[in-house]
Amino acid sequence: MNKTAVIIGSGVGGLATACRLASRGFRVTVVEANTYPGGKLTEISSSGFRFDAGPSLFTMPQFLDQVFEAAGKNPRDYYRYHRLEKSCHYFFEDGTYLEAWADVQKFSLEVETKLGLRGQEILDYLQQSKEIYESAGHIFLENSLHRWDTWLRADVLKALPKIPSLGLFSSMHQRNQSSFRDPRLVQLFDRYATYNGSNPYRAPGILTSIPHLEFNVGTFLPEGGMHTITQALYQLATDLGVKFHFNLPADKIETSDGRAAGVRAGGKYLEADIVVSNLDVYPTYRKLLPHLAAPEKILAQERSSSALIFYWGVSGSFPQLDVHNILFSADYPREFKHLFDDHTLTDDPTVYINITSKKEPTDAPPGAENWFVMINAPANQGQDWDNLIPAARQHIVRKINRLLHTNVESRIRCEQVLDPRSIEQKTGSFRGSLYGTSSNNRMAAFLRHPNFTRKIPNLFFCGGSVHPGGGIPLCLMSAKITSALIAKQFAA
């Protein structure tokens, strides 16, 4: 084809788009502001401990495999993974402890045994979750919602009448509350709103499709940790001839005759037939397209939540913990009010602990564990983080000590911190939001920026801040949608 493409940013979406375009014959160049690829999906090493710095959950591995298969490559030559036996361990303030087995029959038995409920409630709920995903998930996640040809497809037209009944007009919490009598199960399934940085008390009930991906499909861990995904995509891209320029932030997207014509970066001008921005859509417009009237309604949408993460090297072993662990807040509504209404941190946060050394022993020295300890945080709006962070650390330590009956602070051998400010600085995510905009209203999917703009032909977008959203599977879908749109344009 001999067409050229310049991609701004080498996050998961940018890497996958580079691979897909190179597979189609494009000559692809990637400019990256950092000295490394991966965006949020990077790693940290300290005192013999290795941590995945960003996303810690791997679902829908077929979406990643498809990138390699599109290039005619065997994914297993680049990375391997295995399905986890349990998706998560859950701890509640009343002393309840649940193991969420990947085998849904075992999980339903766990609920019967620990909560005294009918396990069939779990099976029915997960079946409904599957049906919602199969009815609407493919539409919302695997296609452009901003082109008429999507809505004229036979399978889409067949599914449209079902969408109102799938929870578009009720909240996620309302649907979960109607499904379970026990508030602990309601809270457990409400937490899936955080998978796209949203509030379960406001996000639409159609998001109850998310548990299907974790329970019915599975939770996975790549051999070598999550950062292996970045390494595999980067290796594939280089094998396909993609050229990378690191430590080279983009300064401007240039246009000619109203069309995208190239990228100016660090004094260099890279001419291209196609420009793809993997940078957050907000700074893309504000910084790289200052001469263009921005889509203000889209840019003004509520941002998703961010995160406060402590990377702790911890002495000893905690057999009650698994790879993924949740220590729940005693007052979930209050926690989300703090996050989305008050834009601050609660004094009783839900704590997520990820420990890859449970399955990857080399991630920690002998007799120790690598703890990725995260709480949800509001997007950065100039809060007093210098005071909020140490206070949050105290609240986290107290909760861990209380629910795990330990003294964790005495075991911490090393520590690094990532907060909304540093997330914004390192990844370009506006206000440090992890998923671009939130999904806190039923029209959120349609208000997210499309993978193209009609204002500037030959300019496209991929990654977590545009359709279909953030997180590894959706960024991979974004790359697939974007590259298909580009291929269709050049095939015409």
Asked whether residue 128 is assigned to any structural domain, the reply reads: yes
For residue 252, what are the CA distances in angstroms to 273, 277, 444, 461, 479? 15, 11, 28, 15, 22
Bridge partners of 326? 90, 352
Mean pLDDT across the chain, nearest whole number?
A: 94
CA atoms within 13 A on the CB side of 298: 22
pLDDT at 193: 96
CA atoms within 13 A on the CB side of 265: 23
Copy the structure tokens of residue 133. Answer: 């995903």
pLDDT in tens, 399-457: 999 999 999 999 999 999 999 999 999 999 999 999 999 989 877 777 899 999 999 99
Is the pLDDT at 69 greater than 60? The verdict is: yes
Asked whether residue 41 is assigned to any structural domain, the reply reads: no
pLDDT band at 187 (very low <50, low <70, confident <90, very high): very high
pLDDT at 310: 98
pLDDT at 166: 66
pLDDT at 145: 72
What residues contact 51, with CB distance under 8 A and at least 6 apart?
43, 44, 45, 311, 356, 363, 370, 372, 416
pLDDT at 137: 72
Contact assessment for residue 199 and residue 193, using Cβ atoms and an 8 Å cutoff: yes
Is the pLDDT at 154 greater than 80? The verdict is: no
Q: What is the pTM of this model?
A: 0.95
What residues contact 133, with CB distance under 8 A and at least 6 apart?
209, 212, 213
Is the pLDDT at 5 greater than 90? The verdict is: yes
pLDDT at 163: 67
Instruction: Output helix, strand, coil percentages for the chain, rounded to the nearest 5.
Output: 45, 20, 35
Cα–Cα distance measured from residue 240 to residue 311, given in angstroms and rounded to the nearest whole number: 35
Asked whether residue 234 is assigned to any structural domain, the reply reads: no
Between 150 and 63, whose confidence is greater? Answer: 63
Contact assessment for residue 272 and residue 6, using Cβ atoms and an 8 Å cutoff: yes
pLDDT band at 167 (very low <50, low <70, confident <90, very high): low
Q: Which DSSP category does 449 fall into?
A: B
pLDDT at 445: 73
Asked whether residue 320 is assigned to any structural domain, the reply reads: no
86-100, 159-173, 474-488: segment of lowest average pLDDT: 159-173
SS3 of residue 283 by DSSP: helix
Contact assessment for residue 420 and residue 385, using Cβ atoms and an 8 Å cutoff: yes
Is the pLDDT at 491 greater than 90? The verdict is: no
What residues contact 402, with CB distance under 8 A and at least 6 apart?
none
pLDDT at 141: 76
Q: Considering the chain, what percentage of its residues have pLDDT values greater than 70?
A: 97
Cα–Cα distance measured from residue 431 to residue 378, given in angstroms and rounded to the nearest whole number: 9
**Dihedral pair phi/psi, residue 379, rounded to 5°:** -60, 150
Query: What range does the domain containing 201 cover?
Result: 121-214
Asked whether residue 308 is assigned to any structural domain, the reply reads: no
Asked whether residue 250 is assigned to any structural domain, the reply reads: no
93-97, 379-383, 406-410, 443-447: segment of lowest average pLDDT: 443-447
Q: State the total domains in the chain.
A: 1
Peptide bond into 468 cis (omega under 30): yes
Return the closest-CA partner of residue 125 out of 160, 177, 193, 184. Answer: 177
Is the pLDDT at 1 greater than 60? The verdict is: no
**Dihedral pair phi/psi, residue 99, rounded to 5°:** -105, 115
What residues contact 19, with CB distance under 8 A and at least 6 apart?
67, 68, 70, 71, 233, 236, 237, 240, 242, 479
Q: Which DSSP category does 380 fall into?
A: P
Contact assessment for residue 340 and residue 433, using Cβ atoms and an 8 Å cutoff: no
pLDDT at 159: 67
Asked whether residue 429 is assigned to any structural domain, the reply reads: no
Asked whether residue 354 is assigned to any structural domain, the reply reads: no
Is the pLDDT at 72 greater than 90? The verdict is: yes
Rounded to an integer, the average pLDDT of 141-170 is 71
Is the pLDDT at 116 greater than 80? The verdict is: yes
pLDDT at 291: 86
Site of tokens 């032909």: 457
Q: Considering the chain, what percentage of its residues have pLDDT values greater than 90?
A: 88
pLDDT in tens, 315-340: 999 999 999 999 999 999 999 999 99
